[in-house]
Structure 1
């Protein structure tokens, strides 16, 4: 594909991604439970997937500052969604785990998120959805191959 054509596609793709992201973000924010923000949901989801994670691992994984994650973890702890404990061997490390209420919140938020996305994808032909997933998987594979 020539450079000029690629640039036109990239501009359009960027515009479409921005519109979709803004719309989904707004709708997802409205459908989160217990006043959970999208950032908090991302942290809760990571804990749900990994089980136990250090605050610094969460910060690195989300590419945000340690102080930002610490403040976010404090709010989640006060809300009863996560537990914090210091590592026995290295007291500098703080581990985060989900509480039962945190697990319930993740489950409820995931259902709400699925409902929002399903609202749009269900209106497309199955073949289009399948093709969309395949394209995203190809792009992700290219990104992973480059490191």
Structure 2
């Protein structure tokens, strides 16, 4: 890599890799859901019913973005909206059985995409890549 590249060029190259992965994901996964939708379903699967504000914070999303994502998940039957029994002002989202099924399909497609990605790299390069992303994400 050219050490004289600007931060903008570096960000652009990283964006290109991410964008290409998203394009490939969308071609493989036919449920008309984006990666953010799958992240929300995955959060619900791991943590159980959750307040939208907690999901948004956990995933680094804005509350309005989470509202938009959850509306589609509810409409498709992958999540339910629930009120707290003790305080009707508190709202929760929870995963449905259909949500678990679509999450399983998404995870299988993700495994296929990951295999395609890592075929281009050696085991050492994969380890370095993961370590670099962890380091940069701190």
Instruction: Give the TM bin, normalised by the shorter chain.
Output: 0.7 to 0.9
2:133 to 133, 136, 145: 136
- In structure 2, the residue matched to 1:36 is 33
* Aligned-residue offset at 1:9: 6.3
Q: Distance in 2 between matches of 1:22 and 1:38?
A: 12
Gaps of 5+ in 2: none
Q: What residue in structure 2 maps to residue 92 of structure 1? A: 89
Residues 128 and 66 (structure 1 numbering): CA distance in 2 closer, same or farther, change over 3 Å? closer
Q: How far 1:127 sits from its partner (Å)?
A: 1.2
Three-state SS of the structure 1 residue aligned to 2:50 is: strand
Question: Aligned to 1:113, what secondary structure does the other structure show?
Answer: helix
Cα shift at 1:106? 0.8
* Alignment partners' CA distance in 2, 1:96 and 1:102: 12
Superposition RMSD on alpha carbons, in Å?
2.1
Q: Displacement of 1:99 after TM fit?
A: 0.8
The alpha-carbon deviation at position 66 of structure 1 amounts to: 3.1
TM score, norm. by length of structure 1:
0.79
**65-74 or 78-87: bigger deviation:** 65-74
Aligned positions, number = 136
The answer to which structure has the higher helix fraction is: 1
Q: Is the contact made by 1:31 and 1:109 (CA closer than 8 Å) also made in structure 2?
A: no
Q: Where do 4+ consecutive residues of structure 1 move more than 6 Å?
A: none
Residue 10 of structure 1 corresponds to 7
TM-score by length of 2: 0.83
Confirm or deny that 1:116 pairs with 2:113.
Answer: yes
Post-superposition offset of 1:54:
0.8
